[in-house]
Amino acid sequence: MRFGTHGKVAGLVATAAAAASFGPAAAATTVQIGPSGKTFASSAVQCAAHPASGTPKAMVEAGLFNPKRNTSANVSLDGAPVANVTTADPVAQVWLADGSNTVVVALSKKVADRYHFTVAPGQCDLPDTSGNWFSPDGTLEYAASGKSYATVTPGCAWSAATGRPQPYVHLFDNGGFLLNVSVNGVPLTQLSATRPHTPVFLSAGVNVISAANGSLSTDYFIRNGGDGSCVLPQ
């Protein structure tokens, strides 16, 4: 599952070329290109904070792929209009319901690309972190497994990935375990005895940080990134 509030897809050529791999959580999601070669949609369902409720909901992004000037298209979900995308604003967020969903990006009556997505019930439910515990001063949250811990209160730092200040927390390996770290379902880095900690930048809304020790255990930490921006300390 993927959590977070995703921004407009940028650099679609590079993104499409890397569609078989994962990129930074705050940069772009991998995409699939429609038969026309002129539209795209997310390659997988993501879980993002819905702007109206703030709770995680299933969504995908869809729109124009490398559009020429004055290009536009209509995006619909199961026949219901969602948005009009243009060269200036080529990406739309499409919020999905449980079950089968069909997203259509129509350039004209004759040219329309269809994308099919399935959302399982509970797919965007937040993971259970009730077994986690906190340090006496409340500054650190330890995973139930004891294999990792994270700072509780986000700091603010410059993110090289987005080119702007973003809130972040630090994630620590608590014993030299081999931990595969992901943010909102997108792989970030690997922690080990030689790399025992990493900053984790937060996108807007709900962020789910996971640290998987192979198939043995997966630690989860939930952090709210606010609007995804912050002011650097003076």
| Same-domain pairing of 94 and 19 | yes
| Same-domain pairing of 23 and 111 | yes
One pLDDT digit (tens) per residue for the chain, 234 residues:
555 544 444 334 333 332 322 222 323 347 899 999 999 999 888 888 788 887 888 999 999 999 999 999 999 999 999 999 999 999 999 999 999 999 999 999 999 999 999 999 988 888 999 999 999 999 999 999 999 999 999 999 999 988 999 999 999 999 999 999 999 878 999 999 999 999 999 987 788 999 999 999 999 999 988 888 999 988
Domain assignment present for residue 199? The answer is yes
- 207-210, Cβ contacts within 8 angstroms, sequence gap of 24 or more: 207/3, 207/4, 207/183, 208/1, 208/3, 208/4, 208/126, 208/127, 208/183, 208/184, 209/150, 209/169, 209/171, 209/181, 209/182, 209/183, 210/127, 210/181, 210/182, 210/183
| Same-domain pairing of 137 and 115 | no
Q: What is the CATH number of the domain that holds 211?
A: 2.60.40
How many domains would you assign to the chain? 2
pLDDT at 23: 27
Domain assignment present for residue 95? The answer is yes
Give pTM, 2 decimals. 0.63
Last residue of a domain, one of 84, 119, 154: 119
| Same-domain pairing of 114 and 19 | yes
Last residue of a domain, one of 61, 94, 119: 119
Domain assignment present for residue 124? The answer is no
Domain assignment present for residue 234? The answer is no
Domain assignment present for residue 99? The answer is yes
Distance, CA of 220 to CA of 184 (rounded, Å): 11
| Same-domain pairing of 178 and 214 | yes
| Same-domain pairing of 110 and 203 | no
Domain interval for residue 25 = 12-119
C-alpha 102: how far from chain center: 21
| Same-domain pairing of 21 and 106 | yes
| Same-domain pairing of 39 and 111 | yes
| Same-domain pairing of 90 and 181 | no
| Same-domain pairing of 113 and 188 | no
